Structure 1
Amino acid sequence: MWDESMYDTVREIRTKTTTYLGVGAVEKIDEIFAQFKEEGIASILCVTGGHSYKITGAWDKVEAAAARHGLRLALYNKVTPNPTTDSVDEATALGREAGAGAVLCIGGGSPIDCGKSAAILLANAGKTAEELYCYAFTPRKALPIVAINLTHGTGSEVNRFAVATITRLNYKPAIAYDCLYPRYAIDDPALMGGLSPNQTRYVSIDAVNHVVEAATTTCSNPFAIMLAAETVRLVHANLPRILAHPDDLRARYALVYAAMLGGTAFDNGMLHLTHALEHPLSALKPTLAHGLGLAMLLPAVIEECYPARPQVLAHILKPIVPGLAGMPDEAPRVARAVEQWLFGLGVTEKLTSVGFSEADVAPLCDLVEKTPSLGLLVSLAPVEGNRERVARIYRNSLAPMARH
């Protein structure tokens, strides 16, 4: 069994954020602001984007709580999907002008990652977002962070990771520092009913990718694997339900919980090939949804990695591919089954569908090699992440696997 392979290896297990999970959790913002007031914080930078922060009603709750406790809010609402270092610098400048003592992120992974990054820069005067994402300095401190999560996928509200595209270079690296843990996270499924069907698909698939990778890295631990199995079970059972009935709060709650588990899983087990290879895709095509990019790559990544971690993947993928024996030669069958599962959810695109071709494989491999942090992710894969294997994954993701 997979759990017999780790008993003699010391693994670090992480869980550091206080999360409020459940319908009505957004009301906890009042208690959080009361605590900030007691700590002497007078101004808060609020980082968000689009219109969901208003449409969901989250902003009304935030404004009311701030008024009750005499806190000033500085609103930065220009974050786009796949946030850039330019956005981080703009948000930081606003926060500095307002004298912010904390950062509140409202939204999905993009606003949360942008807000986390700004929290670091506000506590490290004179530093820029490009310096942060090019690893020009190692931050030890950040302003207190609160995340009101509006999607069920990234898990960024409960972990130490953030991602941004370096505008000048088209690099999309990830950073991971202990000071990036939000002090509080709010996961309220009632705020997520307005997600479109595609958004619902993509963010939930992101959660599945998190745990497939986290459970199979060279530094994974039993906690990450346990969380992975539960995440896959919850998404498999509840994503079809929510696509059929978007107002089903029980199903939405299960997906929110799954995403939170997924974020904790990869905080413990890290990530590897799927995320390392997706970041160049959305760096080159910023409108590409992160979860869609991952979905297009996942079957090919599983085919490469399954022989190295057959028992772990057989265990966590059981709801999607029942009856596995955990043998290396099952890899092609498992990869095709996962692709068919994605297709059955309505995610039928492959790389050619979104404009990539064979001619893009070499430039994409170059970005994997050159982008800060992606080399680390590749090195954590259970198989050697050489250029030949990376190119094969991209190539095998251009079209449905049945055509290969």
Structure 2
Amino acid sequence: MWDDCCDYNMVREVRVKSIAYLGAGAIDKIDPILGKLKSEGITAVLCVCGGHAYRASGAWDKVEAAALRHGIVPALYNRVTPNPTTDTVDDAAALGRAINAGAVLAIGGGSPLDCGKSAAILLANPGKSAEDLFCFRFTPQKALPLVAVNLTHGTGSEVNRFAVVTVSGRSHRSIVGYDCMYPRYAIDDPALMTGLSAEQSRYVSINAFCRVVEAATATAANPLAVTLARETVGLVHRWLPVALTEPENLKARYGLCLAA
């Protein structure tokens, strides 16, 4: 089994549609990532976060320092709540437009990441609103580059092309998925997740479990999806009890990041 022999201090690069950095210390990859964006002429980045985890985890300190080193202005939007609304996405995009953001950096769990993906589309498609996007009034072909710094081992939003947002005033949750929504870079650093409470750790891990059960039993399931689902179930079964009793166990958090 992979998790028996892995070195959780080795930051490995997993190439899917996104480039994902997985391992303790992966947050340090934010420096070369921002350096690459700067080399492309990007001088301002919209940073989409929740209320406090982006700071409490230590992720923001790394992002802010790297942005300063590369001369990039980070505009912080930190008002994303669980199950974000189209109004929230519009507000975040408005801030991005005000600073002429050339990329979006999302820090958090599924909600900030989904909001960041959505804002990245709006910033690349002037005149469109979040309601236009989530009520399927247009089909986006482009989005600004997105960097996703994941702070929970649950949704997998940092490496997929989906976003779920509630349409304001309708109490209706809508999901969209387009190829342009894949993050360019994803960071999964288990050291950023040791502060998750037992309740949060349990809920996000069960989320990962449920998503792979759905993928493996869907009519569109394929052998790869089933193989990955089987591995995910095993990882959650093995490492969730350890994370609950030893919250700072990096090997357990690494296993749950891999599962997500």
Rounded Cα–Cα distance in structure 2 between residues aligned with 1:121 and 1:232: 36
Paired residue for 1:33? 34
String of CA shifts for 1:214-245, please: whole Å, max 9, x gaps.
Answer: 01111111111111000000000111111111
Alignment deviations for residues 13-50 of structure 1 (CA, whole Å, 9 cap, x no partner): x9311000000000000000010010000100000011
* Aligned counterparts, 1:3-402, within 5 A: 15-259=16-260
Give 1:119 deviation, angstroms: 0.1
Query: What is the alpha-carbon distance in structure 1 between the residues aligned to residue 112 and residue 47 of structure 2?
Result: 9
Give the aligned residue type for 1:22.
Answer: G
SS in structure 2 at match of 1:215: helix
**Counterparts of 1:137 and 1:87 in 2: how far apart (Å)?**
19
Distance in 2 separating the partners of 1:172 and 1:242: 31
Give the structure 2 partner of residue 386 of structure 1: none
- d(CA) in 2 for partners of 1:81 and 1:200? 16
Looking at structure 2, the residues matched to 15 and 62 of structure 1 have their Cα atoms a distance apart, in angstroms, of 23
Higher strand share: 2
Tell me, what secondary structure is at the counterpart of 2:217?
coil
Distance 2:169 2:93 in 1: 18
What is the DSSP-based 3-state SS (H/G/I as helix, E as strand, rest coil) of the residue aligned with 2:186? strand
Equivalent residue letter for 1:57:
G
Give CA-to-partner distance per residue, 1:301-356, whole Å, 9 cap, x none: xxxxxxxxxxxxxxxxxxxxxxxxxxxxxxxxxxxxxxxxxxxxxxxxxxxxxxxx
Distance 2:133 2:231 in 1: 34
Rounded Cα–Cα distance in structure 2 between residues aligned with 1:227 and 1:107: 24
TM-score (norm 2): 0.94
Corresponding residue of 2:4: none
In structure 2, C-alpha distance between the alignment counterparts of 1:50 and 1:77, rounded to whole Å = 6
Q: Partners of 2:172 and 2:231 in 1: how far apart?
A: 33
In 2, the alpha carbon distance for the partners of 1:246 and 1:171 equals: 35
Q: Percent identity?
A: 66
Local SS of the residue matching 1:210: helix
> TM-score, normalised to structure 1's length?
0.60
Q: 1:179-209: per-residue Cα shift (whole Å, max 9, x none)? A: 0000000000000011111110110001011
Q: CA deviation at 1:107?
A: 0.3
The structural deviation recorded for 1:167 is 1.2
2:243 and 2:74 map into 1 onto residues whose CA distance is 34
- Quick one: which amino acid aligns to residue 50 of structure 1? G
Q: Which has the higher contact order (CA 8 A, sep 6+)?
A: 2
* Other structure's SS at 1:251 match: helix
One-letter code of the match for 1:214? A
Decide which moves more: 103-112 or 213-222: 213-222
SS class of match (2:115): helix
One-letter identity of the residue aligned with 1:80: T
Q: CA RMSD in A?
A: 0.9
Q: Distance in 2 between matches of 1:222 and 1:16?
A: 19
Q: Which amino acid aligns with 2:162?
A: F
Give the secondary-structure state (helix, strand or coil) at the position aligned to 2:167. Answer: coil
Q: Distance in 2 between matches of 1:224 and 1:96?
A: 39
Instruction: Give the letter aligned to residue 149 of structure 1.
Output: N
| Structure 1 unmatched ranges of 5 or more | 1-13, 260-404
| Counterpart-to-counterpart distance in 2, 1:110 and 1:234 | 24
**C-alpha distance in structure 2 between counterparts of 1:162 and 1:15, whole Å:** 18
Once residues 248 and 59 of structure 2 are traced to their aligned partners in structure 1, the CA distance between those partners, rounded to angstroms, is: 18
Separation in 2, partners of 1:183, 1:217:
27
Helix, strand or coil: the match of 2:46?
strand
Name the SS of the counterpart of 1:88 in structure 2. Answer: helix
**Number of the residue aligned with 1:382:** none
Q: Which has the higher helix share?
A: 1
